[in-house]
Structure 1
């Protein structure tokens, strides 16, 4: 990580380094968005007492979890379309051996991709990812989390 932080890349990229490989639960996503919103309020000098809505605060910017989701889907599609990469066999890997432990199953990368794309199986994911145009439409179609409050000029 030291080489990342001392490199000449932008600070935004440094903060999100490796974020496309994170598996985030909804609770963690809400926590991450809340933290980002608090930092944005501090940076813009907006108090919670000012009663400014988060939609107005973001002013057309994407939430950080939406950006992570887009990067995750782009990485997965890229790795599936390039079989020479080392990550190719592990992108759609699901644990199938061993005994199941008690409690909730750990969230895997495939589960995260299924949740992000609203697809049912890994087979559907693979067929959709191999066609770049349909995958691009699907990933850019996830703009439902983008907060926009700007008026459309007439």
Structure 2
């Protein structure tokens, strides 16, 4: 995951003449079509930790600051930058969540090797220490269901699609 962000950052730097010369809406379209896909390639298979989420958010804000030509020394809050772009929330992590949840639904609905790996259990004892975060823990955290309940829900495409939309939609803070 971190290598993907490094590659996307180098791509972002190589397009410096575009960030300096074009209008903001055009820059946003270029960002979403050329930079974000490089950063999110293969994101369906990532297991996201808190540190990874922070890195993704930092990369996204770095991109927005490049577009608006705001140096990091300006010490402007992220919310003001998002407001200047006319956005309510960050988009990159939301897109990653949507892609991962859609992939989960696809895997659960079909009888392929991926489903067997997802549902399989390894015999034996686990090693010492804290268990690593699992891929399915992201699914259950985002949807608010257990993996088994999410698997049952995924059989109904429309119901699962609305659950994914609900899990990734913007909610105004109370």
The normalised TM-score by structure 2 is: 0.66
- 1:93-124, Cα deviation, whole Å (9 max, x unpaired): 3645221222211112111211121113x221
RMSD: 2.4
Residues in 2 aligned to 1:55 and 1:94: alpha-carbon distance in whole angstroms: 43
| Cα deviation, residue 25, structure 1 | 0.7
In structure 1, which of residues 22, 38, 42 is the aligned counterpart of residue 46 of structure 2? 22
Aligned to 2:6: none
Deviation, 1:127, is 0.6
Gaps in structure 1 of 5+ consecutive residues:
1-9, 148-154
Q: Which residue of 2 aligns with 1:143?
A: 168
Match of 1:69 in 2: 97
The residue aligned with 1:53 is 77
Unaligned runs of 5+ in 2: 1-32
In 2 relative to 1, CA 94–69 (structure 1 residues): closer, same or farther, beyond 3 Å? farther
Greater relative contact order structure (CA < 8 Å, 6+ sep): 1
Secondary structure, aligned partner of 1:142: helix
- The counterpart of 2:114, out of the listed 72, 76, 87, is 87
TM-score, normalising length: structure 1? 0.73
> Relative to structure 1, is the Cα distance of residues 101 and 24 closer, same or farther in structure 2, using a 3 angstrom cutoff?
same
1:114 aligns with 2:123: no
Pair 145,105 (structure 1): closer, same or farther in 2 beyond 3 Å: farther
Q: CA deviation at 1:33?
A: 0.6
* Contact 1:81/1:129, CA 8 A, preserved across alignment: yes
SS in structure 1 of the partner of residue 104 of structure 2: helix
